[in-house]
Structure formats: C-alpha cells, structure tokens
A and B are shown apart, each in its own frame.
Chain A
Amino acid sequence: DTGVSQDPRHKITKRGQNVTFRCDPISEHNRLYWYRQTLGQGPEFLTYFQNEAQLEKSRLLSDRFSAERPKGSFSTLEIQRTEQGDSAMYLCASSLGRRGPYGYTFGSGTRLTVV
C-alpha cells in the first residue's frame, strides 16, 4: 500500500462545468475525510465517511457539492456548476477509526482552478 492517492493532481475547468475528484485511501482505513485548502490557509473540513456512510457534512459543502464512498473503498467528490470561489486544493485523508492515536494519512491533493 503506497498511501492515500488522489486523482487528478491538477484540474483546470471553466466556470459552470462539473468536476469529479477521486480519493483512494489506505486499504485498511475505514474513515475517510475531505478537506478544502485555499491559498495561505489551513485545511477546512468538508465531509467524513465511516466505511460507506457519510456521517457529517460541513456547512461549507453547498448543494453543488456531493461526495460518495461506494462499498467503503475509494471516494469521489463532485462539484457541479463550478464557481471561481471553488478554486482550492482539495485534500483527502484516511484513518483507522478508533479511539486512540488518530493516525491520519493525507493524500497529495487535487488542485482545482476555475477560470
């Protein structure tokens, strides 16, 4: 297992288009998180899955955003009708969910630019 993989690394899209990002977590990790990071800021929580169940969504996640994690493996994050304000780095992280050391592993992120 080589860690958390995110695809694509970079995405440039025109305003109004739909985009989809993929995250492949570490295989034995049952928890998966999506964060958004704008330039010069810390990551902000978007949503969280335990196995295939989406257990929490931030109010940052407008109706144009949807995330799935079918079968509790990889996850996708879709943004519909993109806006310039959606330009950011989208980070995925996974962890083995239990009360304990909270060993999160982050992916390298998908950098989205909306033009």
Chain B
Amino acid sequence: AQTVTQSQPEMSVQEAETVTLSCTYDTSENNYYLFWYKQPPSRQMILVIRQEAYKQQNATENRFSVNFQKAAKSFSLKISDSQLGDTAMYFCAFVDTGANSKLTFGKGITLSVRP
C-alpha cells in the first residue's frame, strides 16, 4: 500500500518570499504520478502541479515548482513570490498507474501568507 507523509502541519511565510513544503511517499510501484493540491478555506480542491515519475525533469507551473527526488521518494513544493491568495491547505497526493487510479493523500499542511 502507498503512503504519503507530510510532517509539517503548519507553515507561515511573508508575502513575496519563497516557501518550500515537504512531502515524502512510500511505494513499491515504478510508474506513478505525484500531485500537489491546494484547498482554500471552504473552497474546492484544485490542482497546483503534477509530476510524472518517469520524467526526471522537475515540473514547473509559473510560481510553483517541485523538487522530485525519486530515489529518496521525496516530492517538495516550492512557492516563489508568495501571494496572499496562496493561503490554503496544501495536500501532496500519489496515484499509481494501475487500474483504479485512486489518489492517496497526505494529511496536508496549512500555509499562511502574511502581508
């Protein structure tokens, strides 16, 4: 069974600064996808960034980038130039390329961006 661990329950960052959110996972699969999802207060979960395990290049989406270390099973999210709208819970998630494609989530981290 896959597990996803987010060991930091909360983080705070000053507006315009950079912050890194950590995530580790455990799996015996070789082909899989990793995701970071954002869940603002009382709003729906939205995809921030996605990484395919067979791609060595780290994914980037505007101010969001990941550091994917496959051997270490580590998948951290870097948010550059933090904005107030980045305040939310962030979840790391895993899916293997098997038949049912269900997501396995970490416990999440609450990120607060200070003005």
Contact = CB atoms under 8 A, between A and B. Distances in A.
B102 A33 contact: yes
B43 A42 contact: no
A91 B102 contact: no
Interface residues of B, number: 25
A65 interface: no
Contact of B108 (A42, A99, A108): A42
A40 B39 CA distance: 11
Nearest to A106: B45
B102 A106 contact: no
Contacts of B84: none
A90 to B, nearest CB: 13
B102 A45 contact: yes
Interface string A74-115: 000000000000000001010101010111101111000000
B46 A106 contact: yes
Contacts of B99: 55
Contacts of B91: 42-43
A91 B37 CA distance: 14
Interface string B91-115: 1010101011111111110000000
A104 B108 contact: no
Contacts of B37: 106
B100 A56 contact: yes
B44 interface: yes
Interface string B22-41: 00000000000101010000
B47 interface: yes
Nearest to B31: A99
A104 B35 CA distance: 11
Contact of A55 (B50, B95, B100): B100
Interface of B: 4, 6, 33, 35, 37, 43-47, 50, 91, 93, 95, 97, 99-108
21 contacts: A33-B103, A35-B103, A40-B107, A42-B91, A42-B93, A42-B105, A42-B107, A43-B45, A43-B91, A43-B105, A45-B104, A55-B100, A56-B102, A91-B45, A93-B103, A95-B101, A101-B33, A102-B33, A106-B44, A107-B44, A108-B44
